[in-house]
Chains A and B, each alone.
Chain A
Amino acid sequence: MDLLGMEDMSDDGEEMTLEQILNELHRAWVNEKKSPTLLDAKPDIVECVLEQIKEMENNIQSQNEFSLKINIHQLEVERIRFVLTSYLRSRLEKLQKHFGYFLRQHEAGITTKLSIKELQFAQTISTDTYDHLDQSALKHMPAVIKSIDLLSKVPPPNLEKYVFASVKESVDNLIVDPETDDKVADAIDMKAGEQYLIRYKLIESLVDNGQVHLV
């Protein structure tokens, strides 16, 4: 019996092997670490990986001998757990730093970035922080400046950051400079396999689509 248990996980009717799930997790992890803002939440992958970790741990526990094979599998489980926690931590860090931006984004209708639990967490943080500022200082201030719009004061993520990107699928006509009165729009064609150092803002939607990967 293969201890890792290469199970076929049903994911929206699609059969995914363990290897595919781990590759997806790995890709999501690198993208999330390199991106200045939150990418689309991937609760399915997180769930899948958590279940797989549990299965693997159960398999290991049920084996009672101490063999090198067991140790290697245990290390594999630890590594997968590390990638998963690092992915979730990276998301949580960005969420905590820029909660104002993401909450307003969510209110504006872009609901794919935060999972349900992350949304709850962000809302709790927002309320708790506002309560603290209110209790410590705002309630002692005169009526004219007694309340502030916390969500817009919290600094937003820096979308102008330059990132290294590797193109997976060709993208034509990416507008680099918008059209102004003086000149025509400057556009580039990106071919698959090329690598660019580019402002994050220009490729934000492409990263979410999977057409471009961050490195």
Chain B
Amino acid sequence: MFGEKGLELIQDFHRNRDGTLGPYNEEKVRQVLEEIQALVEANQKDVSRAVKQTSSRTDMAAIEVRHFGMVRNQRCLMAYLYNRLQKIRTLRWEFGSVIPTDIKSNMSEMEGQWFMKYNRSLAFYMGSLGENGLDLTQNIKPPDSLLIEVRCLEERGEMQLDNGSTILLKKNSIHFLPRSQCESLIREGVLEHIT
């Protein structure tokens, strides 16, 4: 029946909705587009018959059914693409402007381009707030203290702090650092907040 492949695309997305982005199903998208094309061609034949007034009632019904099939396929495709964009947007707020490569490989080429454009417009907006810009991806949780204790999970070598001093990030070393500088590293997974 028409629209089955479109539904499969939606089910694909729905299955992956809780995790990070699933792989872009290029093949199925192509199949849905082909189905749309086939429906249109069949309809064109019937419409030209109708114009010559040699068609019957069943032909008119067939034209309508095919048209609805087309529109449904288009809707499924749009929903699939649009919701993937929403997912990618959430990833930007979670991971920052650099997404890990294994997730990036799940994005299609055009989604990658959209992500770059989104990065740019977001950076432009944040930069326009106040003189030096205001990074909206920081300060996600209300601060309850200035300094927090963190444990380093990966080797990162030396890191310079805002007040000029440097700290050595060795595996399992514990540091007492200002919250604002740790936040992005905690999100990346380099540091771990010890409670």
Contact = CB atoms under 8 A, between A and B. Distances in A.
The 4 closest A-B pairs by CB, nearest first: A50-B130, A142-B40, A124-B121, A78-B143
B130 A132 contact: no
Contacts of A148: 74, 78
Contacts of A85: 134-136, 138-139
Given A117-B125, A141-B33, 6 more contacts: A50-B129, A54-B131, A124-B117, A132-B110, A132-B113, A145-B70
Contacts of A84: 134
B146 A129 contact: no
Nearest to A127: B117
Given A137-B33, A148-B78, A128 B114 contact: yes
B136 to A, nearest CB: 5
Interface of A: 46-47, 50-51, 54, 71, 74-75, 78-79, 81-82, 84-86, 88-89, 92, 96, 117-118, 120-121, 124-125, 128-129, 131-133, 135-137, 140-142, 144-145, 148, 153
B180 to A, nearest CB: 7
Contact of A142 (B36, B78, B122): B36
Interface residue tally on B, bucketed by range: 35 or more
Contacts of A78: 139, 143, 146, 179-180
**Chain A interface mostly helix, strand, loop or mixed?**
helix
A81 B139 contact: yes
Interface string B70-89: 11001001100110010001
Contacts of B59: none
Given A124-B121, A137-B33, A132 B85 contact: yes
Contact of A133 (B37, B78, B121): B78
Contacts of A54: 130-131
B155 to A, nearest CB: 29
Contacts of B110: 132, 135-136
Contacts of A137: 29, 33, 74, 77-78, 81
Contacts of A133: 78, 81-82
